[in-house]
Amino acid sequence: MGKGLLDGVKVLDLSRVLAGPYCGMMLADMGADVIKIEIPGKGDDARGNFPIINGESAYYMNLNRNKKGMTLNLKSEKGKEILRKLVADSDILIENYRPGVMEKLGLGYEDLKKINPGLIYGCVSGFGHYGPYSGRAGYDIIGQAVSGLMSTTGWPGGKPTRTGTAIADVMGGLSCCTGILAAYINRLKTGEGEKVDVSLVDSMVSSLEIINIIYLCTGKVPERIGNRYEAIYPYDSFEAADGSLVIGAGNDKLFKILCAEMDKPELLEDKRFDCNNSRVLNHAELKPIIEDWLRDKKIDETVDRLLAAGIPAAPINTIDRVAKDPHIAEAREMFVEIDHPKAGRLKMTGNQIKLSNNKINTFRPAPLLSQDTKEILCKKLGMTEEDVDRLREEQVI
């Protein structure tokens, strides 16, 4: 694997499905040596997730690229002992079991730091490792529901809505990655290890930013308002002749330019729209005026026109448009091709972090189940092939 900023950093990834594997993927993309540890015979639950390409889950392949893979039965004493030996020579461990599971196995942070005091132990769970809800199961939809996100997503009068992607899992993975990297930098300075305890719910509560502040500062409970923004208008989606676009006229100056583009200077003298606060209060009356202007206009032409005038605007792209976009797909390389031994050549989502001196451009396929078990045990722990065969017979691996 090509070197990256995290070259030489050793990571054990015991996580499954999305949040933990996303964190491990970020570290692996940046050059860390990440070993994915799975249940023998079954592996990560995500190996069965749609879509399936030639028997392999693209869901799994996207989140576990750039990792090596081994299987290990952590319910067996020999399996636990192997993990402890790997931990002794590792920098970071990631897990997303329900709180208490690793502790019952004798593999929690307090147990493992006795073996490796400098270990960075990253754990992602639904509600965190302490607090009255810590024992509850956590899934993305639960994170979105409990945090309040779903209550504010959707249209007025509609039902609470989950976002189109598993945003609580993604935010949990990103938060865990951030915490791990901060703890690792501290360890370089002090030699001290750390437990990084990340909750899906906490991650989503943090991401709600202005939604929380509206309630905390005014007492008003935010409601579903569609694509509109609470603090600025026009900052919304609008219908044009061939689809939808967004316009972000975020201040009075930009609104003045928009009025000129629409040939409606009279709106600037209208008390309902003469300043941002007035436009926010009267958004329901301003939106149809803008959409009436857009009625016979194409989205791409209109976006180009507004951008040329200095007004932030964008088409609401379908994913096929995103995948062909010259900026996103080509210049920013947000879709990359990978050759997988079973699934064949396929496209995956690239990495969003762009570095000037250490480009993230190595993308190797996710491991087949137990693909690297023998290599890891022999090279890292000095086992012989006979030792590995014996462990296989005993269903330790």
Instruction: Give the residue carrying structure tokens 């996580």.
Output: 15
Helix (H) or strand (E) segment spanning residue 349: strand 344-349
Counting beta carbons within 10 angstroms of the beta carbon of residue 364, is it exposed (0 to 12), middle (13 to 18) or buried (19 or more)? middle
Report the pLDDT averaged over residues 354-369: 95
Tens digit of pLDDT for each residue in 304-317? Answer: 999 999 999 999 99
How confident is the prediction for the chain on average, in pLDDT? 97
Q: Please check whether residue 335 is in contact with residue 47, taking contact to mean a CB–CB distance below 8 angstroms.
A: no
pLDDT category at 353 given cuts 50, 70, 90 is: very high
- Residue 235 CA to residue 256 CA, distance in Å, equals 14
DSSP states of 67-84: -EEEE--TTSHHHHHHHH
> What is the DSSP-derived secondary structure letter of residue 273?
T
Name every residue whose Cβ is closer than 8 Å to that of residue 380 and which is 6 or more positions away in sequence.
Answer: 86, 89
- Residue 338 CA to residue 46 CA, distance in Å, equals 19
Between CA 307 and CA 314, with CA 312 as vertex, the angle to 5 degrees is 80
Q: How far is C-alpha 49 from the chain's CA centre?
A: 17
Q: Please check whether residue 11 is in contact with residue 43, taking contact to mean a CB–CB distance below 8 angstroms.
A: no
Name every residue whose Cβ is closer than 8 Å to that of residue 174 and which is 6 or more positions away in sequence.
Answer: 22, 23, 26, 203
Count of other CB atoms within 10 angstroms of residue 45:
13
Q: How far is C-alpha 358 from the chain's CA centre?
A: 22
Give catalytic status of residue 304 as yes or no: no
- Of the candidates 44, 140, 169, 236, the residue annotated as catalytic is 169
Single-letter amino acid code for the residue at 111: D
Tens digit of pLDDT for each residue in 183-226? Answer: 999 999 999 999 999 999 999 999 999 899 999 999 999 999 99
Single-letter amino acid code for the residue at 304: D
pLDDT surpassing 80 at residue 362: yes
Instruction: Give the residue carrying structure tokens 């319910």.
Output: 75
pLDDT surpassing 80 at residue 336: yes
Tens digit of pLDDT for each residue in 278-295? Answer: 999 999 999 999 999 999
Provide the whole-model pTM: 0.95
- Residue 44 CA to residue 15 CA, distance in Å, equals 8
Tens digit of pLDDT for each residue in 70-80? Answer: 999 999 999 99
